[in-house]
A = this chain, B = another copy of it.
């Protein structure tokens, strides 16, 4: 499952024969995607109808099919967008890799922020992963990639003796992922709790890494 997710791969180099379905830039297409995102977030997948989406996008019902083959397809495209946005948000450049605490804080903050921001769609993604193999692949990427990356980092700093994880790195990363999701939910409900959540999650993360962040900060 590569990066650029679209039903038929965008054959950008060809001239002349180029149908609407291929044009990723048509303005109506973008409006439909945004509309779909809002509608799905508001109603959930099942209850959302093509009519809801086209109404929101101010496009005729038939207009939908100029750009997407079906409800499933918009959702897949949307899912790809979410995955990209979510994973990209995990890239936190400019952090001193040697400062474990700083890395922990930055990655935790990025994860919680991204998860909270995309919560509605992520929840649907998880739900739809059940019945759609392509969506499942996207969902697994979303779930696994940050965990594996974190595990890799933990393994390294542990090997360097700069951390003493309580459990094996992959398990620890999963656990921290799980707790971060929990915090992300809270943050999605009450954005003001973001700083506090990041601080707490980071503190626990570091503690589990065996790095002495003093309890009761």
A47 touches which one: B15, B131, B175 (CB < 8 A)?
A: B131
> Of B17, B59, B201, which one neighbours A61 at CB under 8 angstroms?
B17
Knowing A16-B55, A166-B207, say if A3 contacts B174 (CB, 8 Å): no
- Chain B residues with CB under 8 A of A7: 45-47, 71
Question: In the complex, are the beta carbons of A4 and B175 less than 8 A apart?
Answer: no
Q: Assess the A58–B14 pair: CB atoms within 8 A.
A: no
Q: How far is the CA of A167 from the CA of B201 in the complex (A)?
A: 9
Interface residues of A (CB under 8 A from B): 1, 3-9, 14-17, 43-47, 49, 52, 54-56, 58-61, 70-72, 123, 126-127, 130-132, 164-168, 171-172, 174-183, 186, 200-201, 203-204, 207-208, 210-217
Q: Which residue of chain B has its CB nearest to the CB of A39? A: B14
Contact indicator A17/B55 (Cβ below 8 Å): yes
In Å, the complex CA distance between A9 and B45 comes to 12
Q: How far is the CA of A214 from the CA of B166 in the complex (A)?
A: 7
Complex CA distance for A99 and B198, rounded to whole angstroms: 31
The answer on a CB contact under 8 Å between B44 and A130 is yes
Please, which residue of chain B has its CB at the minimum distance from the CB of A171? B200
Asked, given contacts A44-B130, A211-B217, A216-B164, whether A16 binds B178 with beta carbons under 8 Å apart, the answer is: no
Apart from A1-B70, A127-B127, 13 more pairs, CB < 8 Å: A9-B43, A17-B55, A17-B61, A45-B46, A123-B127, A164-B215, A168-B200, A175-B179, A175-B182, A175-B201, A178-B182, A179-B179, A210-B214
B46 touching A203, Cβ below 8 Å: no
Determine the residue in chain B with the shortest Cβ distance to A15: B55
Q: List 21 A-B contacts (CB under 8 A).
A: A3-B46, A6-B47, A7-B71, A8-B43, A9-B132, A16-B56, A17-B54, A17-B60, A44-B130, A44-B131, A46-B46, A165-B215, A165-B216, A166-B203, A167-B216, A167-B217, A177-B182, A178-B179, A179-B179, A181-B182, A210-B217
